[in-house]
Structure 1
Amino acid sequence: MRNAAFRLCAVVGAVLIAATLLGASPRAQARTDQRCYTNAAGTRCYYLHVPPGSSTGRPLMVYLHGCNDPLADARPTGFSLARVADEMGFVLAYPIQDQAANKDVCWNWDKAENRERGRGEPSLIAGITTNLIDQFGLDRSRVYLGGYSAGGAMTTNLGATYPDLYAAIAPMAGAPYRTELGGQVIIDAMGARARPMPTFFLQTLFDQISNFVIGRANLAQWREADNLADPGSVPTVPTRLDVLVAGPGLPIPLTAEHYDSPRGCELAQFTTPLLAEHAIGARIVQDDVGIEVQRNLMRFLLAHRMPAPHRTC
């Protein structure tokens, strides 16, 4: 997969250079390209979707897939979150795990080096993020990270270790940081960068892989970390509860718990598809059947900008 990805990156680069030399604008219309990034931890390729028009000042969303073959199954060129990107005007990056690093193409969120800043896969994902910000002139205050399953657990790792890079995160069907209870472990990882982290969760009720109890533990850990960083910033019980629909073709009920800060912003949201398991949850966050949930996810994330240290909103 890596060799094919490198060949595709070379072809895409040649096309873009040719378009520039001919005077055409390579960003005149929405497009999805494939690129690669390398640092001391290795190389990871990624899909990049840029909406029509200038990229300058746009937000950036980085999405991490779960354990599957993203080239065969996730279909990033038809990834429905790209539709939401065009609607809402954000740039979308979709990093791809290397099968040489994990035979099931899972992000290795549970390895020690991938729970630390500046090492392993977090350094690759953060490097992709910062390179895109610089190259496309994106808005540094509106950079977001989300993922599902193994991608959700890796999102938690980066939320704890790069709180100065991502304004808000979405660790969906993921595990708590270092698979521990309590928020102090996140505060310790954040160090001097510690601040409340706005967080969107999605956890199917009958998830047989990352079960519902794990999802609630993840919510509790982040809520406690937020309150350690800024006491009283997040309530212990929801302030509001909504009933949602996933989108066309998937008539299952979803509940959304909202945790609003006393300062007036929503610091956490926990969405539960009630009659669903792990694979259906993956469809909700990646396919057209879950387009309304994806729009809701991005509305939550885009409502947040990188705040000053130790502040909630």
Structure 2
Amino acid sequence: MVPRGRLRSLMLALSALCAQILLTATPSAHATPVVERVFSNAVGARDYYLHVPPGDPTGKPLMVYLHGCTDPQRQLADTGFALTRLADELGFVLAYPIQTGAANERFCWNWFDPANQPRGQGESSIIADLTTALIDEFGLDRARVYVGGYSAGGAMSTVLAAAYPDLYAAIAPMAGGPYQLDPQIFRADLSGASIVSAMGARARPVPGFFLQDLADQTSLYPIGRANLAQWLGAYRLAGEAATPSVPTAVTVNTDPVPTTVERYDTGSCALAEFHTPLGPDHIGGGLLMQSARGFALQHTMMNFLLAHRIGGPRQACG
């Protein structure tokens, strides 16, 4: 047996190696134009980037991607808006809302602030109203609308799913945290009851694509497991009583890094996928989701999301 200290050293070394690979010799991203716009509602205004794939957008799906912290405009520009390549290939409209330094000095979405969590209030309402405005403007498919993100963006996507389960067919909360997690004491209701309570009469299981790196020292791995446990609980309370407690399938892939994938299915409905990459750390994981190096992982995320159509109350899959 490998001593625990040596095993930890080995894992950290592998994580560092993966990060180095990702941060060097990254292929250039697919050059696709994005347009910078502004959206405002009664709560406030946010800039956002928009990419519409070639052809008539009518009836296409919509993906809203929420960035993590630290200078998001430079972050997205430096990585070439990598998801636009997938938007062209798979045929969906893509929006990147941008947090302001005035709202958070580190440009984080304020997912942890109770003022931003209820339906119709705070930052979540700006993102949700932007989503609805884009659906109306381009005649998009209301049954295939998705939101996801990384770190603070991942955590905000869980807020949006709880407040707007009738808007988003599925979510991708990556390296985020459970709904209403108290970041000071790392405590949250893991039963899922708080999510279903927030959903109210609109309550439905909202399928999720989860990702939590094993070596992440910022969003720790147990936080990701707690996030999954909370949503599995919410699925049961919101209508899918047969939601499994253990994966219905486990697979392993190596592109772009070694990753274990757990699936949680009920019948033909894929409720959740939980991805556990072995390295890199938090920043490297964010780069995987926003650079050409992580194209295979981004493809996997979008394939999961696009397979879902919104269900009615108490329904996960439409």
TM-score by length of 2: 0.85
The answer as to 2:225 corresponding to 1:216 is yes
Counting only pairs closer than 5 Å after superposition, residues 1-313 of structure 1 correspond to structure 2 as 31-75=33-77, 78-179=80-181, 180=188, 181-247=190-256, 252-261=257-266, 263-313=267-317
Following superposition, the deviation at residue 77 of structure 1 comes to: 7.6
Q: Is the 8 A contact 2:148 2:171 kept in 1?
A: yes
Determine what percentage of the aligned residue pairs are the same residue.
58
Following superposition, the deviation at residue 255 of structure 1 comes to: 1.1
Give the match's secondary structure for 2:49: strand
What letter matches 2:162 in structure 1? A
Distance in 1, matches of 2:33 and 2:142, equals: 22
Deviations 1:86-107, CA, capped at 9 Å, x for gaps: 1100000000001111111110
Following superposition, the deviation at residue 78 of structure 1 comes to: 1.3
Give the match's secondary structure for 1:82: helix
Following superposition, the deviation at residue 243 of structure 1 comes to: 1.4
What letter matches 1:217 in structure 2? A
Q: Is the 8 A contact 1:184 1:228 kept in 2?
A: yes
Deviations 1:232-267, CA, capped at 9 Å, x for gaps: 3421111111212334xxxx2011111111x31211
Q: CA RMSD in A?
A: 1.4
Aligned residues: 280
Change (3 A) 1:233 1:90: farther
Q: Larger relative CO (CA 8 A, sep 6+): 1 or 2?
A: 2
Distance in 1, matches of 2:33 and 2:243, equals: 39
Deviations 1:199-240, CA, capped at 9 Å, x for gaps: 000101011111000000000000000011114342111111
Distance in 2, matches of 1:131 and 1:67, equals: 25
What letter matches 1:129 in structure 2? T
Q: Partner of 1:22 in structure 2?
A: none
Q: Which runs of 5+ in 1 are unaligned?
A: 1-29
Deviations 1:58-95, CA, capped at 9 Å, x for gaps: 00000000002112122278111111111100000000
Q: Is the 8 A contact 2:205 2:240 kept in 1?
A: no
Q: Is the 8 A contact 1:168 1:301 kept in 2?
A: yes
Distance in 2, matches of 1:76 and 1:54, equals: 29
Change (3 A) 1:111 1:244: same
Q: Is the 8 A contact 1:246 1:284 kept in 2?
A: no
TM-score by length of 1: 0.87
Deviations 1:124-161, CA, capped at 9 Å, x for gaps: 00011000000000000000000100001111101100
Q: Is the 8 A contact 1:117 1:123 kept in 2?
A: yes
Q: Which runs of 5+ in 2 are unaligned?
A: 1-31, 182-187
Deviations 1:154-191, CA, capped at 9 Å, x for gaps: 11101100000000001101110111122000000000
